[in-house]
Chain A
Amino acid sequence: MNQRDLHPTPPGGKYVLPFAFTASTRAYYRLWLVNMVLTIVTLGIYSAWAKVHTQKYLLGHTTLDGGRFDYHGKPIAILKGRLIMLLALAAWTFSESLPLLHAAIALLAVAAAPWLGVLALRFRLANTSWNQMRFHFSGSSADSYKAFAKSWALLILSLGLAWPWATQVKQRFITGHSALGQARLQLQPCSGALYRAALGTALAAVCYLLGTGIIGGLIWQTATLSGFAHGIAVRFGEAALTQLDIVFFGMTSALWVMATLGYARMAISRVLINHTTLQLATLEARLVWSLPTRQMLGLHFSNALALLLSLGLAWPWIRIRTLRLQLQSLSLLSSSDLSALPLRTSLNRLDDARGDELAELMALDLGW
């Protein structure tokens, strides 16, 4: 795999180091099935192992310049995190009838978010490697609180209008404290591009609304004209038909929201990734993600449609094809090859998944 030829000196002194994704849909389907079955049989305990296997499989089939990525998180650490997450969720559910306690828990969650974010990133990066070199996150909790406070203040004071700027503040903290070996990652200023991405998302939302509206309307019309709806009303009663309509409408709207959010996430990460650089002494590299918007729209819309029509069973296929398309168009434009990135610390082992799990639960937008 890594018996690379020396790169010939490229024109303009820049190397284009490509990313590649070699996972197969078949193998991933099987992994997904095995994970699901074992998680059920073990009443959820296996889900930690499932996560490790999935991460190892997907990262292991992602390569940069022929070198494999890998995941090293330990299942027990993840399991501990999940248990704590479960307790937090139970406290949240149980306090629903006690508004004061409920509010206190929400406040605590918001207050802990920057700290949990740091824990999550530390665990995730320390357990991710490229060519067996570990990534490393060096951000401190204090810095995290500063960055988050600034980001939230910007958001609130501008009534959400400064959202791209706030995102940039937060992401600069995250990217700027990430490292591979001694090479530091940096996020270059990009609020203008983020504003354009937000506009594009608004446009995509309208397109998706038309699309889901037309398809949903067609299905609804077909059901009405073919007498299917009438049949249900006669057999099970009007109430059943109304409920079916509500569920159908709910699922269609959920799909619309999902597709729009998916687009937003992708448009934003495209900007962030394209402004991410890697620096070490004389080495200067920058990530280039050249996925055309048209292709992105098509991908998301077909994904949403496949999910709807397969009742969710197409999920593994969607995951693989999305990753493949995303990674195929990603590359690292570098002033030299990466053969001499020395590692910062000899061992960055961190076996605490609590941050990771709690951050996932609260859908903390941590990027990366």
Chain B
Amino acid sequence: MVTIKALWRDGKTPQAQAANVGRIDDELLLLRDGRQYRYPLADIRLEAGVADLPDTLQLPDGGTLEVADRIAIRRLIGGLSWGDRSGHWLQQSWRALAGLALLASVVLWLGYRHLLPLAAGALAPLVPVPVEQALADSTLQWLDRSGATGPSRLGEARRARLQQQLQALLPDSRYRYRLLLRDATVIGPNAFALPGGTIIVTDQLLALIRRDDELLAILAHEAGHVEARHGLRSALQSSGLLLALSLITGDASSALLVLPVSLANADYSRAHEREADRFAYARLRAHGLSPCLLGYSLQRIEAATHPQATTDDNTPGSWFASHPDTAERSQPDGLRCPPRPD
């Protein structure tokens, strides 16, 4: 019988004793102090040594055997568990690790591009509309209290008209749209959507875009965010991403994840903007309006906020930007628009 050298400990005291192990049928044979001990193999647990550490056998009486010759003991006992085996295989072969790293990057890409947005898209509709509205109300209160927005000083008549036109643009929406005007010098000409059908338009935007059809295009884009529940989805996506990244990096500190998470969030945000743009184009078309209207109003905003910016049409968007660039958004579905009427 082949025997393997081992160190035996009783599990109650720290001393180790040299011993030999062998196997007879379904029993492990332990030879120490010139005596023989037998244990059924089924009661013995093999703890594989990680990297260069020895294997350990846990005996049913609380004793342990430390075995440096790992190949021999694994052959004797009859193999490792699935998890241990895969880890050890990768620990041995660089080629296997490289191959799996490639597979991992594919999984990572698929998860990031499709799985996470899909999961967020499936979960977001579970939140009922009243909850969304409550969420919007608390955000609104917070905005007003923070001083970023103040009461509007512009026309109520135009607001009511636009709200009506917007609701008419979206005949089968589950939301009742509520258009709010706010004075916001810090934010400038802008419009943003809150969950549940609330859209805030700044006085600055109202003053900048005099034509109702162009403003309606902006509102249709914001309604696109509301209909697709982008607010909830981004919250879900970014927390899912953070969770996945901290699971993957294991014990690494989460402060390291600031950069990748902010890059990914900006990327997800651009995807949402494109989705809202497509929604706006479709709604405008369905009502006999030109999809070019959105591009026109965006150009006006850009001209007002960045008067010195070059009108070079092919500057690539920044990785950190939350919106795609205006040149891209001025071509609905690749269409070339006629020049903006002034």
CA distance A254 to B255 in the complex (A): 6
User: Per-position contact with A for B12-52: 1 when CB-CB < 8 Å, else 0?
Assistant: 11111000000000000000000000000000000101111
List, in ascending order, chain A residues with CB within 8 A of B87's CB: 34-35, 38, 49, 53
B11 touches A133 (CB 8 A): yes
Please give me the 6 A-B residue pairs with the lowest Cβ-Cβ distance, nearest first.
Answer: A240-B318, A131-B14, A343-B12, A236-B318, A254-B255, A312-B256
Q: Specify which of B50, B84, B255 is in contact with A258 (CB 8 Å cutoff).
A: B255
19 intermolecular pairs with C-beta atoms under 8 Å apart: A2-B14, A33-B97, A34-B97, A37-B90, A38-B86, A38-B87, A38-B90, A41-B100, A43-B107, A47-B247, A70-B47, A99-B138, A131-B9, A133-B9, A133-B13, A235-B315, A311-B259, A312-B249, A346-B11
Q: Decide if B101 is an interface residue (CB 8 Å cutoff).
A: yes
Known: A254-B255, A319-B251. A40 touches B91 (CB 8 A): no
A41 contact from B9, B107, B131, Cβ within 8 A: B107
Closest B residue by C-beta to A310: B256
Given known contacts A37-B104, A97-B135, A239-B318, A312 and B14 CB-to-CB distance under 8 angstroms? no
The residues in A between 1 and 51 inclusive whose CB is less than 8 angstroms from any CB of B are 1-3, 24, 27-28, 30-41, 43-44, 46-47, 49-51
Judged by a CB distance under 8 angstroms, whether B304 is at the interface is no
List 11 extra interface pairs beyond A99-B138, A315-B252, CB under 8 A: A31-B91, A33-B97, A37-B103, A40-B248, A43-B107, A44-B247, A130-B14, A131-B14, A181-B12, A250-B258, A311-B256
Residue numbers of A with Cβ under 8 A of B are 1-3, 24, 27-28, 30-41, 43-44, 46-47, 49-51, 53-54, 56-57, 60-61, 67, 70, 72, 75, 86, 89, 93-94, 96-99, 130-134, 181, 235-240, 243-244, 247, 250-251, 254-255, 257-258, 307, 311-312, 315, 319, 338-343, 346-347
Q: Is the pair A56, B239 in contact by a Cβ cutoff of 8 Å?
A: no
Cα–Cα, bound, A2→B309 (Å): 73
In whole Å, how far is B67's beta carbon from the nearest beta carbon of chain A?
12
Report whether B13 and A340 are in contact in the complex, using a CB–CB cutoff of 8 Å. Answer: yes
Cα–Cα, bound, A342→B14 (Å):
8
A339 and B14 in contact, given A40-B104, A237-B306 (Cβ under 8 angstroms)? yes
**Shortest Cβ distance from A290 into chain B, in angstroms?**
24
In the docked arrangement, what's the CA distance between A165 and B125, Å? 49
Contact B256 A346, beta carbon cutoff 8 Å = no
List residues 213-253 of chain B with CB under 8 A from any CB of chain A.
Answer: 235-236, 239, 243-244, 247-253
Point out the residues of chain A lying under 8 angstroms from B250, CB to CB.
32, 35-36, 39, 47, 50-51, 54
| A38, A56, A97, A181 interface centre (most CB from chain B within 10 Å) | A97
Whether B258 pairs with A341 at a CB distance below 8 angstroms is no
| Complex contacts, B235 vs chain A, CB 8 Å | 93, 96
Q: Please, which residue of chain B has its CB at the minimum distance from the CB of A346?
A: B62
Taking a contact as CB atoms closer than 8 A, the residue among B9, B16, B97, B247 that contacts A39 in the complex is B247
| CB-defined contacts of B318 to chain A, threshold 8 Å | 236-237, 239-240, 243
Which of B12, B86, B236 makes the CB contact (< 8 A) with A93? Answer: B236
CB atoms of A236 and B315 under 8 A apart: yes
B83 at the interface (CB under 8 A from A): yes
Output the nearest chain A residue to B257 by Cβ-Cβ distance. A312
Q: Is the interface of A mostly helix, strand, loop or mixed?
A: helix
Q: Does B108 contact A (CB under 8 A)?
A: yes
Quick one: which of B102-141 are within 8 Å of A by CB?
Answer: 103-104, 107-108, 111, 127, 131-132, 134-135, 138
Contacts A38-B90, A312-B252, A342-B13 given; does A247 touch B236 at CB 8 Å? no
**Are B320 and A244 touching (Cβ within 8 A)?**
yes
Q: How many whole Å from A178's CB to the nearest CB in chain B?
A: 17
Residue of B nearest to A235 (CB): B315
Which residues of B from 58 to 102 have beta carbons under 8 Å from A? Answer: 58, 62, 64, 66, 83-84, 86-87, 90-91, 97, 100-101
Q: Does B262 belong to the interface (CB within 8 Å)?
A: yes
B100 touches A247 (CB 8 A): no
Q: Which of B91, B243, B252, B321 has the most CB of A within 10 A?
A: B252
